[in-house]
Protein backbone atom coordinates (compact mmCIF):
# COMPACT_ATOMS: atom_id res chain seq x y z
CA UNK A 1 0.00 0.00 0.00
CA UNK A 2 1.41 3.41 -0.95
CA UNK A 3 1.61 6.25 1.52
CA UNK A 4 -1.19 8.84 1.35
CA UNK A 5 -0.39 12.06 -0.46
CA UNK A 6 -1.97 15.41 -1.11
CA UNK A 7 -2.18 15.90 -4.89
CA UNK A 8 -0.64 18.75 -6.78
CA UNK A 9 -3.04 21.64 -7.27
CA UNK A 10 -3.30 25.03 -8.89
CA UNK A 11 -2.13 27.68 -6.44
CA UNK A 12 -2.32 30.86 -8.54
CA UNK A 13 -2.45 32.13 -12.11
CA UNK A 14 -1.58 35.69 -13.03
CA UNK A 15 -0.60 37.95 -15.91
CA UNK A 16 1.78 40.85 -15.46
CA UNK A 17 3.86 43.37 -17.37
CA UNK A 18 6.97 44.58 -15.50
CA UNK A 19 7.12 47.77 -17.59
CA UNK A 20 3.77 49.06 -16.27
CA UNK A 21 4.91 49.76 -12.72
CA UNK A 22 7.87 50.65 -10.55
CA UNK A 23 8.66 49.99 -6.89
CA UNK A 24 6.05 52.47 -5.63
CA UNK A 25 3.40 51.45 -8.19
CA UNK A 26 3.92 47.68 -8.23
CA UNK A 27 0.19 46.89 -8.31
CA UNK A 28 -0.08 48.40 -11.80
CA UNK A 29 2.05 45.54 -13.15
CA UNK A 30 -0.65 42.97 -12.38
CA UNK A 31 -3.22 42.69 -15.16
CA UNK A 32 -5.01 39.55 -13.91
CA UNK A 33 -4.75 37.45 -10.76
CA UNK A 34 -6.56 34.21 -9.91
CA UNK A 35 -6.05 32.76 -6.45
CA UNK A 36 -6.97 29.12 -5.85
CA UNK A 37 -5.85 28.70 -2.24
CA UNK A 38 -8.33 26.78 -0.07
CA UNK A 39 -9.33 29.79 2.07
CA UNK A 40 -10.13 31.83 -1.07
CA UNK A 41 -12.16 29.00 -2.61
CA UNK A 42 -14.02 28.54 0.71
CA UNK A 43 -15.01 32.24 0.74
CA UNK A 44 -16.29 31.99 -2.84
CA UNK A 45 -18.47 28.97 -2.06
CA UNK A 46 -19.96 30.79 0.94
CA UNK A 47 -20.96 33.80 -1.18
CA UNK A 48 -18.28 36.10 0.20
CA UNK A 49 -16.44 38.44 -2.16
CA UNK A 50 -13.35 37.20 -3.97
CA UNK A 51 -10.80 39.35 -2.18
CA UNK A 52 -7.12 38.52 -2.44
CA UNK A 53 -4.70 40.63 -0.43
CA UNK A 54 -2.85 43.00 -2.78
CA UNK A 55 0.40 42.44 -0.87
CA UNK A 56 0.10 38.69 -1.50
CA UNK A 57 -0.43 39.36 -5.21
CA UNK A 58 2.58 41.68 -5.34
CA UNK A 59 4.70 39.13 -3.44
CA UNK A 60 3.97 36.37 -5.96
CA UNK A 61 4.56 38.76 -8.85
CA UNK A 62 7.87 39.84 -7.30
CA UNK A 63 8.97 36.21 -6.89
CA UNK A 64 8.13 35.56 -10.55
CA UNK A 65 10.04 38.66 -11.68
CA UNK A 66 13.03 37.67 -9.58
CA UNK A 67 13.09 34.12 -10.96
CA UNK A 68 12.85 35.39 -14.54
CA UNK A 69 15.64 37.95 -14.00
CA UNK A 70 17.84 35.40 -12.20
CA UNK A 71 17.55 32.80 -14.95
CA UNK A 72 18.32 35.45 -17.62
CA UNK A 73 21.78 35.84 -16.05
CA UNK A 74 22.56 32.24 -17.03
CA UNK A 75 20.87 32.17 -20.43
CA UNK A 76 20.14 35.63 -21.86
CA UNK A 77 18.98 34.26 -25.24
CA UNK A 78 16.34 31.80 -23.97
CA UNK A 79 13.41 32.46 -21.68
CA UNK A 80 12.75 30.73 -18.38
CA UNK A 81 9.98 28.16 -18.85
CA UNK A 82 9.66 26.69 -15.37
CA UNK A 83 11.27 26.60 -11.95
CA UNK A 84 10.71 23.76 -9.47
CA UNK A 85 10.96 24.71 -5.80
CA UNK A 86 10.26 22.65 -2.69
CA UNK A 87 6.62 23.65 -2.27
CA UNK A 88 5.67 25.09 -5.67
CA UNK A 89 6.44 24.84 -9.36
CA UNK A 90 6.36 28.05 -11.41
CA UNK A 91 5.62 27.91 -15.13
CA UNK A 92 6.20 30.98 -17.29
CA UNK A 93 4.98 31.96 -20.74
CA UNK A 94 5.71 35.19 -22.59
CA UNK A 95 3.08 35.58 -25.35
CA UNK A 96 4.28 39.11 -26.24
CA UNK A 97 7.21 41.28 -25.32
CA UNK A 98 7.04 42.26 -21.62
CA UNK A 99 3.82 40.33 -20.97
CA UNK A 100 4.13 37.26 -18.76
CA UNK A 101 1.65 34.56 -17.82
CA UNK A 102 2.63 32.73 -14.64
CA UNK A 103 1.14 29.50 -13.35
CA UNK A 104 1.98 28.47 -9.78
CA UNK A 105 1.25 24.84 -8.89
CA UNK A 106 1.52 23.42 -5.38
CA UNK A 107 3.66 20.28 -5.43
CA UNK A 108 2.25 17.02 -4.08
CA UNK A 109 3.23 16.21 -0.53
CA UNK A 110 3.53 12.95 1.34
CA UNK A 111 1.37 12.73 4.46
CA UNK A 112 3.57 11.44 7.26
CA UNK A 113 3.09 10.59 10.92
CA UNK A 114 4.58 14.01 11.69
CA UNK A 115 1.61 15.59 9.90
CA UNK A 116 -0.75 13.89 12.34
CA UNK A 117 1.27 15.27 15.23
CA UNK A 118 1.02 18.78 13.73
CA UNK A 119 -2.75 18.60 13.60
CA UNK A 120 -2.78 17.54 17.26
CA UNK A 121 -0.67 20.57 18.19
CA UNK A 122 2.60 18.75 18.75
CA UNK A 123 5.92 19.31 17.03
CA UNK A 124 6.29 18.04 13.50
CA UNK A 125 7.62 18.90 10.06
CA UNK A 126 6.41 22.45 9.47
CA UNK A 127 2.97 23.94 9.22
CA UNK A 128 1.34 21.22 7.14
CA UNK A 129 3.53 18.36 8.21
CA UNK A 130 4.05 16.89 4.81
CA UNK A 131 7.15 16.55 2.76
CA UNK A 132 7.72 16.92 -0.93
CA UNK A 133 7.53 13.86 -3.13
CA UNK A 134 10.65 13.02 -5.06
CA UNK A 135 9.87 13.01 -8.78
Instruction: Collect the ranges in the chain with pLDDT lower than 70.
Output: 1-2, 40-51, 114-135
Domains of the chain are 8-107 (3.30.450.70)
pTM exceeds 0.75 for this model: no
Q: Residue 75's pLDDT is what? A: 86
Q: Residue 123's pLDDT is what? A: 41
CB atoms within 10 A of CB 65: 16
Amino acid sequence: MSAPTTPSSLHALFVFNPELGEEATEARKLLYFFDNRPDTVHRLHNGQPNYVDLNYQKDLCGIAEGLIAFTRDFSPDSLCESVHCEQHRYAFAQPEKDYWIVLVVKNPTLITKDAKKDSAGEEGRGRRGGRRLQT
